[in-house]
Amino acid sequence: MNARTAAARPHNDGGVGVQLGRDLRRWAHEQRFALWTTFGFIVVNLCWWLWYAVQHRTLPYASMHTTLGAFDLGRLMPSLVLTRSVFQLVVEALLILCMLCIAEPMMGVWRTIGASLASAAIGIAFGLLLCAGFNALLQDNAIIYHVRFTLSPLVLVIGALFASTAFAYQLWRRRIRLIGYTAILVVLLYGGNPGDYCMLVAAVAGQLIGRAMAGPPIEDGAWHWQYSSSSETRRVLGAIGAVLALGPVVAATSRSHAGPLTGLAWVLSPGSVNTGKLASCMHGQITSGCFQQYELMRASMTGDLIRSVLPLLVMLALAWGVYLGRRTAAICSIVFYLASSVITVSYYLVMPFALGGAATAFSGRAIETCLVNALVPLLYAIALIAKLPDFLIRTKARPLRVSLIVLGATFVVCAAVYLIFGLTRPGDFTPRPGLRVLLAELPGRFLPIGFLTNTRLAFVPDTALASLVYQGVGIVFWIVFVAVAFAWLNATIDYDRKARARAEELVERGGESMSFMTTWEGNEYWISPTGRSAVAYRVLNHIALTTTGPFGDAEEWTSDLDEFARFCRDHSWSPVFYAVHQPARDHLASLGWHSIMVGDEMVIDPQSWKTTGKKWQDVRTAINKAKREGITDEMGAYEDAPADVQTQIQEISEQWSQGKALPEMKFTLGGVEELKDPRVRILYAIDADGVVQAVTSWLPTWRDGHVSGWTLDFMRYRPGSYNGIMEFLIARMAQRMHDWDEEHPDEKVDFISLSAAPLTGLHDASEAKPDDETNIDGTVMLQHSLALVADLLEPAYGFKSLYNFKKKFQPSEHPVYICYPDSALLANLGIAIVRAYLPTLTFRGALGMLSTFKPKKETPAKKAAPDARTEAADVKGAPQGAPDPEGTAADRS
């Protein structure tokens, strides 16, 4: 065992198997209502099937549906508990179990039952009224009143799920509501079953019932704006994109076929094309039933079906890229969904005029279909545009450019083949098309048939070759699009794979206290000519801003400074070394570079660690209080922590994100994603009930093949945790490493770095001074600007509070610097640093942020009875003695 794996192991009475059994029994006890309800649902259906099987009778499915026109509640109610197939039973049983397992622990059994029954009753009553009213508004009564429908068993439990969100923290509240409502609306739009309206109303009713039971959200008092972390935003948008992509699958399996997006549902239709009636429709001889024949004709073409499936693969690929934070996937999704809206409107409202008049091109429901087909992708595209700054991982220009050229060329060639064939061999189609008709039908050769619902067929192919061209051009285009989508995704993920892999190796060869941050997402890498060292950087405003100094072979670090600067000049970038230590600063100063001290890194020597003496009173108090409260510390890799602990850590972090007037900071400040690296160690405080009260993460530094130091990165605490929880965790880390050094003298940990708070290099603006006589105004101005920024951000991030907090541990202080070659860079450099730390901050957001930064007034009580522990807790709701959690995110320069 070495320092990388040093961790306290929980005591397991009776072994892992016994402990697992206890865990399962405890879980079953907490979810007993969910388990018994699901079990009862399965048993009722099995008994129902068995009863009819014993009597050799067919199951009476026909008696389990009704219509709005001839409504029969008695025939409808059994569908709330009875299913039509084994597949439906399995899927709905799993969904019922999942929903109730979420709701029951949050609300308790009786609240869960009450919310379920009340929301189901409201959903059925008002959902059917909403369905009738909505379709009456669209003048579609004749269709909807004759649609046979059933109710889903999920109507009984969906209200409990949405009611439970009122008892959850914002993280899960937002996840459940966004994804839940999106899924319900997709089912409604693509299926159109009147029972789906009941599901929607039951969900809304459940949410309102939950709010009435729980009261206002617990975070309201701490919010400025409802900010989410970037990773959470990407996950939610990716999940919504996947739900939208799967919508046509819902349409294909729907029994109602009454939704505005149900064109694909004709695939499973029992009807077949009546060729005589279709010919009469296309020649304008009859009008009744024509649009059904058009849909059946499209669904009978194998090529059109394939063309309808391929876009789903593109949408899923883009949704996965959005989930992973790929900027290319987000931009392509925006273009894809905006194009879908534009083409839909064009096809429904513009192209029909090319046929000689719009009146013969639509069915009565075409406007409704057009509206929904255009509005759904448009709203998703707008959401992606609003959150585009959260997608930071880019694709190299070359594969992106090549892919776009290939995609554009494919479309042009396919369109040309279709038009040339139609013009040269019109006799292969019925009726014979002209140029105007061919152009009007051109979008239909590429759109999925779900987008063509309720539109007229202008002509159909009569020969095998015509059918091949008619159906094939769209297939070829979408096959290329699928290949391009996955190529973009792979290029985005892997464009710097070799350099990143080499950097991952080099950081374990040697580095400084903050070198591990170079492995984080968003960095690019310069590898030395020998391959034994590297520099991590990111290009912002034509400035190559490094993430600390060189790492790898220490003998090359000095020459790396020169070589990297030359590399930047070759690429027309201005090199800036950020957060470097004294040796690098001295070397660059000898070359005429300028520098600014931006902070003091706080370093603890574990070998001399002790907590005796008056200066350590706060730390000793925190340790003793943890013992009295029954709080212990656990250390290990994030992936080795129990799933419940991982979930709590994510929730604690997300709660912090929701309470800030600014987005979470990046660059040299890690979040949840960064602490998941197996080389990183987390140290968390957990009470006797298994509740995580606070968590820290520690980044390793290697020397001579072993970990020589640990650097504090991520720090978060649960709201309401006791005063001094952070002092306890840091003290425990120091004590652990002190004990390690005594037990393993050959693998000593030389230092524990508490890192540096950003923008605290000046304790007072009056300390600003130039580093030489060549750029007096520029350097001092930038120092003053950084001091002003630090003052503005102090209420939100507590940099100075963090600085004072770390002083409690009596560390040695080591300055860190920004080094730059030209004072003309100063304005651009300031913008680049802000963009690096706050990549998602917009100008409008910055203006809104300023209104929230108001100096706090001291109360008379505080003046009369000051508490030394409060100087590091200058944020509302923070425990005394603990700095603000982003400051506690070990904010470095």
DSSP string, 757-779: -TT-S-SSGGG---SSSSSHHHH
- Cβ atoms of 203 and 215 within 8 Å: the answer is no
Q: Is 755 left (phi over 0), alpha (psi -120 to 50) or beta?
A: left
- Cβ atoms of 448 and 475 within 8 Å: the answer is no
The answer to the question of residue 628 being in a domain is no
The DSSP code sequence of 265-326 is GGGG-S----HHHHHHHHTTS--TTHHHHHHHHHHH-HHHHHHHHHHHHHHHHHHHHHHTTB
pLDDT at position 574: 84
CA distance 783 to 769: 8
- Cβ atoms of 595 and 585 within 8 Å: the answer is yes
Predicted confidence band of residue 192 (pLDDT cuts 50, 70, 90): low
Q: What letter represents residue 890's amino acid?
A: A
List the single range of 95-99, 591-595, 737-741, 842-846 with lowest mean pLDDT.
842-846
pLDDT at position 535: 95
The DSSP code sequence of 542-600 is TEEEESSS-EE-GGGHHHHHHHHHHHHHHTT-EEEEEEE-HHHHHHHHHTT-EEEEEEE
Cα–Cα separations (whole angstroms), residue 241 to 313, 395, 755: 12, 20, 39
Q: Of 14-28, 696-710, 770-784, which one has max mean pLDDT?
A: 696-710
- Cβ atoms of 113 and 157 within 8 Å: the answer is no
pLDDT at position 855: 41
Helix, strand and coil content of the chain, in percent to the nearest 5, comes to 60, 10, 30
CA distance 25 to 847: 53
pLDDT at position 231: 64
Q: What letter represents residue 328's amino acid?
A: T
pLDDT at position 232: 66
The answer to the question of residue 199 being in a domain is yes
Q: What letter represents residue 808's amino acid?
A: K
- Cβ atoms of 601 and 814 within 8 Å: the answer is yes
CA distance 717 to 645: 13
Query: Domain of 53?
Result: 28-225
CA distance 697 to 208: 39
pLDDT, average across residues 146-175: 82
- Cβ atoms of 115 and 166 within 8 Å: the answer is no
Over the Cα atoms of the chain, what is R_g?
32
List the single range of 279-283, 581-585, 639-643, 833-837 with lowest mean pLDDT.
279-283
pLDDT at position 412: 92
The answer to the question of residue 118 being in a domain is yes
Predicted confidence band of residue 297 (pLDDT cuts 50, 70, 90): low
Coil, helix or strand at residue 461: strand
Q: Which residues contact 450 (CB under 8 A, 6 or more apart)?
A: 190, 248, 251, 261, 262, 263, 264, 308
Phi, psi dihedral angles at 405 (to 5 degrees) = -65, -45
Judged against a pLDDT cut of 60, whether residue 642 lies above it is answered with yes
pLDDT, average across residues 815-838: 78
pLDDT at position 877: 32
Predicted confidence band of residue 507 (pLDDT cuts 50, 70, 90): very high
More confident residue, 758 or 131: 131
Give the count of domains, the chain.
1
Q: What letter represents residue 166's amino acid?
A: A
> Residue 495 is inside which H or E element, if any?
none
pLDDT at position 366: 56
The answer to the question of residue 130 being in a domain is yes
CA distance 796 to 276: 73
The answer to the question of residue 194 being in a domain is yes
The answer to the question of residue 66 being in a domain is yes
Judged against a pLDDT cut of 80, whether residue 2 lies above it is answered with no
pLDDT, average across residues 774-778: 42
Predicted confidence band of residue 491 (pLDDT cuts 50, 70, 90): low
> Residue 537 is inside which H or E element, if any?
strand 533-540
Judged against a pLDDT cut of 80, whether residue 394 lies above it is answered with no
pLDDT at position 323: 82
More confident residue, 883 or 450: 450
CA distance 406 to 412: 10
Give tens-digit pLDDT for 68-85. Answer: 767 777 777 888 888 878
Judged against a pLDDT cut of 70, whether residue 1 lies above it is answered with no
Q: Which residues contact 559 (CB under 8 A, 6 or more apart)?
A: 528
Q: What letter represents residue 451's amino acid?
A: F
CA distance 84 to 530: 68
Predicted confidence band of residue 616 (pLDDT cuts 50, 70, 90): confident
- Of how many residues is the chain composed? 893
Predicted confidence band of residue 360 (pLDDT cuts 50, 70, 90): very low
Q: Are strands 594-604 and 632-636 parallel, antiparallel or unpaired?
A: unpaired
CA distance 743 to 1: 11
The answer to the question of residue 735 being in a domain is no
Cα–Cα separations (whole angstroms), residue 815 to 546, 749, 755: 17, 21, 10
The answer to the question of residue 838 being in a domain is no
Predicted confidence band of residue 809 (pLDDT cuts 50, 70, 90): confident
Handedness of CA 218, 222, 227, 232 (dihedral sign): negative
**pLDDT > 70 in the chain, percent:** 67
CA distance 387 to 238: 12
pLDDT at position 652: 84
CA distance 177 to 161: 9
Judged against a pLDDT cut of 80, whether residue 331 lies above it is answered with yes
More confident residue, 342 or 282: 342
Judged against a pLDDT cut of 50, whether residue 767 lies above it is answered with no
